[in-house]
Amino acid sequence: MPRIAVAAVDRNRAWIEAVTSTLGDSGDSELSRLAMRNAGKRCASQLLEKIVAHYGREPRSVDELVEAINKRRKEILRASTFWQREGKKAHFRLDKCSCDLVEAGLAEPNPIFCLCSSGMFENLFAPFCRGAVRAEIVSAIGLGDECCEFVVYFDE
């Protein structure tokens, strides 16, 4: 992996902060939600590629998606928390922010990034569902909570 200059990291950190601050300060919650939901699409497609590679094939249903996600979380990430399906919803809880930008030190957990995560989960589940998929942020470290908790609602 190429080494990134400290100045470039600092520049990207400042850029990310400027974008998230502008969205947060805009007073337009719908714009923030739309922008970050769309940003979450890319994260969802990258995550799905990793899930498919580890699972060995593309999931064909929500149940298989949850199984594939949990298999990767257990075997690759050595995680102790997993998605749970309950009827027409799936529930997930994390004890730390798992945003790649936060983990890389390029950003701090914040409410705008939580919108990105909900968009990522909507886009992750959407190919396996009919109709609208909606992710609810139950709690989030970026909102000052002790954990991140999401519920994804869907129709199969």
Full domain range(s) for residue 88: 6-155
The answer as to whether 123 is a domain residue is: yes
The answer as to whether 107 is a domain residue is: yes
Question: Is the distance from CB of 146 to CB of 139 less than 8 angstroms?
Answer: yes
Question: Is the distance from CB of 123 to CB of 40 less than 8 angstroms?
Answer: yes
Q: What is the CATH number of the domain that holds 21?
A: 3.30.1380.20
Question: Is the distance from CB of 21 to CB of 101 less than 8 angstroms?
Answer: no
The answer as to whether 63 is a domain residue is: yes
C-alpha torsion sign, points 70, 75, 79, 80: positive
The answer as to whether 1 is a domain residue is: no
Phi, psi of 77 (to 5 degrees): -90, -10
What are the beta bridge partners of residue 137? 150
The answer as to whether 79 is a domain residue is: yes
The answer as to whether 97 is a domain residue is: yes
The answer as to whether 26 is a domain residue is: yes
- In order along its 156 residues, the chain shows pLDDT tens digits of 678 788 988 999 999 999 999 999 999 999 998 999 899 999 999 999 999 999 999 999 999 999 999 999 999 999 999 999 999 999 999 999 988 899 988 999 999 989 999 999 999 999 999 989 999 999 999 999 999 999 999 998
| CA gap 125, 146 in Å, rounded | 25
The total domain count for the chain is 1
The answer as to whether 29 is a domain residue is: yes
- Residue 7, CB-side half-sphere exposure with 13 Å CA sphere: 0
C-alpha angle with apex 79: 78 to 81, nearest 5 degrees? 160
Name which of 37, 24, 18, 28 is nearest 133 in CA terms. Answer: 37
pTM comes to 0.89
The DSSP symbol for 56 reads S
What is the number of residues in the chain? Answer: 156
H or E element that contains 84: strand 84-86
pLDDT in tens, 39-84: 999 999 999 999 999 999 999 999 999 999 999 999 999 999 999 9
